[in-house]
Amino acid sequence: MSAIVVNFISSAVLSISGLFIVKGMNNCKNNIFSIRTIILMGCLIILPMIIHDIQYTYLYSIIVYLITILTYKYALNISFPKTIISSAMLMLFVSLLDSVISGIVVYFLSFEEARENIFICLSSSIIISAVLLIIFQLKNIRNKFCKFILEIENKRLTHFIIFFVLIIIGICILFYIISNNFQLNTIFTTSFLILIIFYMLVIILIAEKNNYDKLSDEYDGLLDYVKVFEDWIETEQLNRHEYKNQLAVLRCMTKEKKVKEKIDSIINNNINIDSAIISQLKYLPKGGFKGLLYYKIVVARNQKVNIDVDVSIDVNKKLNKLDKDKLDIISKLLGIYCDNAIEAAKETRKKIVLIEIYEYNDVIHIVISNTYNKKKDISKRNEKGVSTKGEGRGNGLYFAAKLINKNKWIEEKQDIVDNFYIQKISILNETKRLNNK
């Protein structure tokens, strides 16, 4: 079998399997059996053959990457950001498996011999394609990559796209260095180690992004729930108010002392049980923020935690000026810090949580104070997976730290005063934010 035929088959196998893999990554429903797709795939198969050379150059892989982006973009009719990321991931997987095969071949052949060996070239292409097709047949893996790519496109995370492009360029250069030193020496092993580090960076990035998105989705779900809860509380309060008026009318209609006492008991003990809290929260904006605090108060009381809320009248206008996205971020942070405060407080004797929301010097401050167990080490509380609540917990504060780092209009500070752990969130206006730069 001639080298041209082998190169054609190898290129065709990798290109066609790559098309199905990228299609799966992006959950495309397009018909790929069209004349346009056949012409584009023909270019993707033939062009790498034309520029293929025994002596490997890093420009070869970069050019193949660019051709791959253009081919899959128009064959699958997907956006450039999606194509750039998915094509980069495809090349990363291909280069990873190619590195494994190269690591085995280096014991037996030189680079030139390996590149010229028909059996190795053909079998490596088939093995790489088969392994990748099997991996991306797994629905769980395919869905994770699909979600990851969709998030990058929807949120216009340009830095992720730049990261993947730079990783591909870096890997191409490393392959060039390895090809020029295809023997077991210091340069080969060092380059191979750097290559492994690159792969690990990509794995860590994808895992971190998926964990972040998972936590974000959970808190988005909570916000959707508390919006319903918020409406229910306000409706319930109106019903209670009407119920109270009706009881007052009945009280006036009876002359029985015992009946009047019973009505007074119902009004005083049941109807107004949460009136103080509802009165405090009336200054907060609707849309999840207020409902979240209602919800956390219920959670705290169900766990026998003494919770008190103090909201300044001044914050109403300031908070109502914040757009929905900012309010959602503040709500997520408030939810995380309240959860941790309640968890910490319920382990103490006094079980106290205090929430203060006020405005000072044109800055809104949210202060959450709670009693805590002094015997527990809280120095590493913001690290991922670290928690005083047991193994597998502790991602909330890590998620909060990531949120704050991404939003420079928020500042946070922790302090310990007497027996209270104090968490403070400050919402800066535009002037304050620019002055702090």
pLDDT tens digit sequence for 224-252: 656 655 665 556 555 555 555 555 555 56
Which DSSP letter does residue 347 get?
A: T
Distances (CA, A) of 2 to 7, 11, 48, 117, 159: 9, 14, 17, 11, 44
**Of 396 and 420, more confident:** 420
What DSSP state is assigned to residue 54? S
**109 phi/psi in degrees, rounded to 5:** -130, 160
- Token digits for 182? 């295809």
Q: What tokens were used for 147? A: 């979600």
260-284 mean pLDDT: 60
Please tell me whether residue 309 adopts helix, strand or coil conformation.
strand
Residue 213, Cβ density class (10 Å: 0-12 exposed, 13-18 middle, ≥19 buried): middle
Place of tokens 């909570």: 222
pLDDT of 172 strictly over 70:
yes
Q: Is the pLDDT of residue 423 over 90?
A: yes
Using the 8-state DSSP alphabet, how is residue 164 labeled? H
Torsion angle, CA of 371/375/379/382, rounded to 10 degrees?
-60
Question: For residue 356, which phi and psi values (nearest 5 degrees)?
Answer: -120, 135
The mean per-residue pLDDT over the stretch 179-200 comes to 77
Mean pLDDT score of the chain: 77
Q: Name the DSSP class of 428.
A: -
Residue 98, Cβ neighbours under 10 Å: how many? 16
* Residue found by looking up tokens 């104090």 in the block: 422
Residue with tokens 């310990």: 416
pLDDT of residue 386: 47
Q: Which long-range contacts (CB under 8 A, 24 or more apart) does 150-158 make?
A: 150/82, 151/209, 151/213, 152/81, 152/85, 153/79, 153/81, 153/82, 156/81
**pLDDT at position 131 over 70:** yes
Q: What is the mean pLDDT of residues 155-163?
A: 78
* pLDDT of the residue at 274: 57
Which pLDDT value is given to residue 3? 64
Distance CA 293, CA 279 (A): 13
Q: Tell me the pLDDT tens digit for each residue of 34-65.
A: 888 888 888 888 877 776 654 556 677 788 88
Q: Are 167 and 65 in contact (CB under 8 A)?
A: no
Whole-number pLDDT of residue 430: 59
In the predicted structure, residue 393 carries a pLDDT above the cut 50: no
Strands 352-360 and 420-427: unpaired
| Largest Cα–Cα separation, the chain | 111
Q: What is the pLDDT of residue 434?
A: 47
Residue 115 pLDDT: 64
263-297: burial string, b at 16+ Cβ within 10 Å, e else: beeebeeeeeebeebbebbebbbebbbbbbbbbbb
Q: How far apart are CA 217 and CA 410, in angstroms?
A: 21
| Confidence band, pLDDT 50/70/90 cuts, at residue 334 | confident
Share of the chain above pLDDT 90, in %: 7
Q: What is the pLDDT of residue 130?
A: 92
Q: How far apart are CA 75 and CA 42, in angstroms?
A: 11
pLDDT for res 30: 77
- Are the C-beta atoms of residues 308 and 371 closer than 8 Å to each other? no
Q: How far is CA 75 from CA 62, 65, 93, 325, in A?
A: 20, 15, 21, 36
Q: Are strands 420-427 and 410-417 parallel, antiparallel or unpaired?
A: antiparallel
With a pLDDT cut of 70, the percent of the chain lying above it is 71
pLDDT band at 366 (very low <50, low <70, confident <90, very high): very high
Using CA atoms, how far apart are residues 167 and 37, in angstroms rounded to an integer?
28
Residues 148 and 25: their CA atoms lie apart, in Å, by 9
Plot region of 362 (φ>0 → left; ψ -120 to 50 → alpha; else → beta): left
**pLDDT tens digits, 112-122:** 666 666 777 78
pLDDT score at 134 = 92
Measured CA to CA, the distance from residue 366 to residue 368 in angstroms comes to 7
Helix (H) or strand (E) holding 363: strand 363-371
Which residues neighbour 4 within 8 Å (Cβ) at sequence distance 6 or greater? Answer: 49
- The answer, yes or no, to whether residue 123 has pLDDT greater than 70, is yes
**Can you tell me the distance from the alpha carbon of 411 to that of 189, in angstroms, rounded to the nearest whole number?**
45
Kindly state the tokens that stand for 160. 């992720």
**Residue 290 CB partners (closer than 8 Å, separation 6+):** 230, 281, 284
